[in-house]
Each structure stands twice: as C-alpha cells, then as structure tokens.
Amino acid sequence: MAGPMPNAAGPFSRAHRGKRTLTVLPAAGCTLAVPKMPRGREWTAEERALWHELWRLPQATMWDDSYAASISMYIASVSAVLAGTAAGWQAAEARQLGDRLGLTPEGLRALGWIIEGDAEAGAVTPLRAS
C-alpha cells in the first residue's frame, strides 16, 4: 500500500528532496553592523581585526548575532593553530567550524551558497544530491 502523496507546497516536503538550489551571496559582502566580540577572554589586535573581517564577508549576510559564539571559537582555534600552540582537536575544530560557517569551498557547497560572480567562473560546484 502506498503512503500519502508528497505535498509539494510545503517548503520541507520530501517532494523537494534531491533538488538543491543555490543561495547567491553578494560579492560586495555584508554591510550590517558588526556585533561586539564576546567577553570571557582577552582578544588580541589580530583577532579583533579577523572578527571584523569575517563579519564583512559575503557569508556574513547569512549569519545573525547567534553566530557570534561559533565565530569567536573559530577565531580562537585558528589563532592557536597559526601560533603553533594548538592541540590536534583545535585544528580539527577550526576546520569544522570553517566548513559550517561557509568559510571554505566545501562549506559553501554543503550550505548551498555561492558568492556572486563565482558561478560564471566555476569556482564552486554545487553538490549533487543523491
């Protein structure tokens, strides 16, 4: 006996499974106000600069203030890796957070994001749904 027919009108319908669309992010980046860095540690000047740089990226148009903790964890992990003081788990955390925030080509593909102009250049190939 067959189950109910998929409701294609629902945004999370199984009828949409396998059909991926890309969200085009503006190449000019995000123009919204940069949130304040979380308290709890002393941030270096380089980390503060990276904070502002990340919140100006095209990917930041998809973030809201709730991303502040993840972005600060990314910055702390990357800083430790670059300083040569990171444990293995910190390097893995930096890589995973970079992917989940859309800061890597793989992360962009997984999130279904593409930066305006990259489609023509073929810079990011969308994942094929299986």
Provide the number of structural domains found in the chain: 1
> Within a domain: residue 12?
no
> Within a domain: residue 16?
no
> Within a domain: residue 7?
no
Mean pLDDT value across residues 6-25: 65
> Within a domain: residue 91?
yes
Does 23 or 2 have the greater pLDDT score?
A: 23
- Which residues span the domain enclosing 102? 21-30+44-121
Does 21 or 18 have the greater pLDDT score?
A: 21
> Within a domain: residue 128?
no
- Note the pTM of the prediction, 2 decimals: 0.76
Q: Is the pLDDT of residue 116 over 50?
A: yes
Residue ranges with strand state E in 1-130: 23-25, 113-115
Q: What is the pLDDT of residues 56-70, one digit of tens each?
A: 999 999 999 999 999
> Within a domain: residue 99?
yes
Least confident of 49-53, 99-103, 117-121: 117-121
HSE-up of residue 28 (Cα within 13 Å, Cβ side): 2
pLDDT score of 129: 42
Using CA atoms, how far apart are residues 115 and 25, in angstroms rounded to an integer? 5
> Within a domain: residue 63?
yes
Helix-helix angle 88-100:68-83, to 10 degrees: 140
Bridge partner residues of 25 (DSSP): 115
pLDDT score of 31: 94
> Within a domain: residue 37?
no
